[in-house]
Amino acid sequence: MNLTVKVIVGMALGIVVGLAINFSGLNSEGSFVQEFITGGLFHVVGKMFINALNMMVVPLVLFSLICGVCGIGDVKLLGKIGTKSFGFYVMTTAVAIASAILIAGGLGIGEGMNASSEANFTGREAPPLSDVLINIIPTNPINAMAQGEMLSIIFFAILFGISLLLVGRKATKLIELIEILNEAMMKMVTIIMALAPYAVFCLLAKAMAELGVELFTQLIGYVVVLAGVLMFHLFVTLLLFLKVFSGLSPATFLKKIRNVQVFAFSTSSSNATIPVTLRTVTERMGVNNSVASFTVPFGATINMDGTAIMQGVATVFIANMYGVDLGIAGYLTVIMMSVLASIGTAGVPGVGLIMLSMVFSQVGLPLEGIGLILGVDRLLDMLRTAVNVSGDAVVSLIVAKSEGKLDEDVFNNKNLEDSDSGNIHVSSEIGRDFAQAISTAYKGK
């Protein structure tokens, strides 16, 4: 079984076992089950997994961001096209997280649960927005990493990456070392996520045993709201951006992007989808390669609209469950954190949960709350990735159109909608290029 199936099985078994314990009354205070099973084994395994996620935050953000900045290759590329791409990516992410908080808050998901954290959590007042802005620049970056001050780490990582680019050839070996470290962190994420099915079982079994079927009912609400906000962002926000800023047809875009979406949905990885996305926006949508080669990888690094939406909905859900009133300042902090965190969110499955722990820590929500949504997150991760790659393509089209780097005849060519089913067939590409080369040579002769 692949990881997705294992997580589903773990989720189902956890729900069944937890509800069975809850209905049977075996989880009463001081009982053997409460002391050694739900409060013992299930608690220990679930807490260890949460700690493992939290352990990944600082090194993952640091190395991923530095690699993302250095991957641009030249500081000059942070000029006109880079500024436009960055601006649109940040704009769509900000709209995504804001709409998620507004919709989830308006529907009141999680209210009335009255959950309590086993860590004796007491809500702390969210820091003033002015302090958040001031503290973005760390006085001591090493201390910021030790204390887990994510806003400061993000700022330092971006500035350090730009500085490495300015150093030039002398920094090549250091950049290669950081890339190796980043790759090692990605492998560590893979190892930790391999344990997710067992952690899901323990976390959900414990939660269901303590809270009963009411929690499952609320999780259904969480899934529906999150999926609804993702669809709203895809079919309303992104298509509105496309029409307003480029004048291109949203219907044509949806027809040509569907193969990329299917591939992203199946892999749950923006990085793995880069070859398909790049080929689609250049060959089927007419974006010049000079633009697409920058915007698509750049988007896979910093454009995480789907992840930002998840963070917004999850924050509202968990805050309502634990009865924490974040207030306007708290939600503004969540918006800023989600926008900045999207820059450091690697395009691999499951990393959004790590970034969610960062957001929770910043606004004072219990990390245990992540365990309540972990069981359904793997399924929603596939949907989020499809939204992310759609945003990459939209921004690529907008930037290319504004710079005169878009062939609209290619974009409007309906014959290019369904070719190859979105797969990368290397052998057919070589054969096609070889035939073209022979034809060109023959005509020249």
Kindly write down the DSSP assignment for every residue of 305-347, as one continuous string: HHHHHHHHHHHHHHHHHTT---HHHHHHHHHHHHHHHHHH--S
Instruction: Report the alpha-carbon distance of residue 342 to residue 310 in Å, rounded.
Output: 11
> 3-state DSSP call for residue 287?
strand
Instruction: Report the alpha-carbon distance of residue 381 to residue 2 in Å, rounded.
Output: 15
Output the DSSP codes for 183-242.
HHHHHHHHHHHHTHHHHHHHHHHHHHHHHTHHHHHHHHHHHHHHHHHHHHIIIIIIHHHH
Q: pTM (2 decimals)?
A: 0.63
Please report where in the chains the tokens 């996305």 appear, as a residue.
277
210 Cβ partners below 8 Å, 6+ apart? 22, 27, 38
- CB contact at 8 A, 27 and 21: yes
Q: Output the pLDDT for position 213.
A: 62
CA-based nearest residue to 308, from 133, 129, 91, 145: 91
Q: Which amino acid is at 402?
A: S
Q: Output the pLDDT for position 440.
A: 44
Instruction: Report the alpha-carbon distance of residue 406 to residue 129 in Å, rounded.
Output: 41
Number of Cβ atoms within 10 Å of the Cβ of 273: 28
CA-based nearest residue to 338, from 317, 321, 315: 315
Regions of the chain with pLDDT less than 50: 117-126, 347, 418-435, 437-445
The number of residues making up the chain comes to 445
Q: Output the pLDDT for position 167.
A: 87
pLDDT per position as a tens digit, 32-60: 877 888 888 888 888 888 777 778 767 87
pLDDT per position as a tens digit, 395-416: 999 988 988 888 888 888 876 5
Structure tokens at 389: 């790659």
- CB contact at 8 A, 226 and 306: no
- Look up residue 71 and give its DSSP letter: T
